[in-house]
Amino acid sequence: MILALLPASLLGACATIPPTSAEVESCQRMESEMGVGQTHDHNEMKGRGINPMNLSHARCQQILKQ
């Protein structure tokens, strides 16, 4: 149960840390090249943990909203 909540808490912590200029540039590049749409992950849906790519997309979505 605790492991299931860990990724959400880590992602929440990322929201409070201001992005670096390198992160912003990386997210802007990702957005222009492939978009930042949240992809789905069947392993995540089955409770096997969050895909690192999904975490980076979610972080970029947060950064680009600012």
Predicted TM-score (pTM) of the model is 0.58
Total tally of structural domains belonging to the chain: 1
Q: Looking at beta carbons, which pairs linking 39-48 to residues 24 or more positions away fall under 8 Å?
A: 47/4
Say what the pLDDT of residue 31 is.
85
Say what the pLDDT of residue 1 is.
44
Say what the pLDDT of residue 50 is.
76
Say what the pLDDT of residue 17 is.
82
Domain that holds residue 19: 2-65
pLDDT in tens, 3-60: 454 455 555 555 568 999 999 999 999 888 877 666 666 666 677 777 777 788 888 8
Give every CB contact of residue 58 below 8 A, 6+ residues apart in sequence: 11, 38
CB 41 within 8 A of CB 58: no
